[in-house]
Amino acid sequence: MVFGTIYTRNPNPRTTAILAVAKAQGLSLDITYHDRDDPKSHQELLKVNPLGQVPVFRGSDGYGSTQQEYYSVIRWMSFANGDLLPAIGGIILPVIRQPIDVRMDDQDCLRVLRRDCQLMEEQLQKSRYLVGDQLTLADLFTVAMLQGAYVLLHQVLKPAYPRLTEWVNEVFAMPMFQSIAGPLHELNLPVPALLGIEKRPRGLSNGSGSTS
């Protein structure tokens, strides 16, 4: 029986170890290769991952609901850690004159931040929290990642992502969170703005919010 499907590109460094372990374990995997330069192929990938990133794994026999929730929590935390926070850091660390290991282009970071906020906005319109209607670690972790963005970019984020903002405020209102994170201050420092026409984002097909 096929264990599941891996959606990836060829080659892709994040996929190599997965395929090696699957092979060593005798697990049969379907592999679907996507081409980011082929719009049809890219649209298919967006159906399984709205960020347009690979690899994506989809199990063929489904998960028990508890396991599915567990993987969804991990997926959101990985998104916050690997995608969202580097974009936020690339924008705000230079503003607050903190060191950054690899200097990033603030326009690219703003585009990624917009895309990621749009993704969360859409999810939070479907469910009260990131994973269903119960608070999970994914909410606490992701809101913590967003704190700096809301402190410095609140003028952009609040009108553009109302549901996201409501959820951030709800988590910040929780005493167990606020006792560690402190209150959500708003600073009005000069911050970079997204300029010009947005490049086609690799993720969400319907754009990443309006430019500012």
Ligand X SMILES: N[C@@H](CCC(=O)N[C@@H](CS)C(=O)NCC(=O)O)C(=O)O
Query: Hey, which residues does 28 pair with through a beta bridge?
Result: 2
Using CB under 6 A as the binding criterion, the count of chain residues that bind ligand X stands at 11
- Measured from the CB atom, the residue of 77 and 191 that comes closer to ligand X is 77
Residues 38-57 that bind ligand X (CB under 6 A): 52-54
Angle between helices 137-160 and 85-95 (to 10 degrees): 60
3-state secondary structure of 3: strand
By the rule CB under 6 A, 36 interacts with ligand X: yes
Longest CA pairwise span in the chain (Å): 57
Rounded Cα–Cα distance for residues 14 and 77 (Å): 17
- Measured from the CB atom, the residue of 88 and 156 that comes closer to ligand X is 88
- Measured from the CB atom, the residue of 85 and 157 that comes closer to ligand X is 85
- Per this entry, what is the length of the chain? 212
Asked if 107 and 195 count as a contact pair (C-beta separation under 8 A), the reply is yes
By the rule CB under 6 A, 14 interacts with ligand X: yes
Task: Choose one: 76-84, 122-130, 150-158, 179-187; the region binding ligand X (CB under 6 A).
Answer: 76-84
By the rule CB under 6 A, 82 interacts with ligand X: yes
Rounded Cα–Cα distance for residues 209 and 212 (Å): 9
- Measured from the CB atom, the residue of 14 and 128 that comes closer to ligand X is 14
> Quick one: tokens of 202?
């690799």
By the rule CB under 6 A, 134 interacts with ligand X: no
By the rule CB under 6 A, 202 interacts with ligand X: yes
Task: Choose one: 12-20, 115-123, 131-139, 183-191; the region binding ligand X (CB under 6 A).
Answer: 12-20
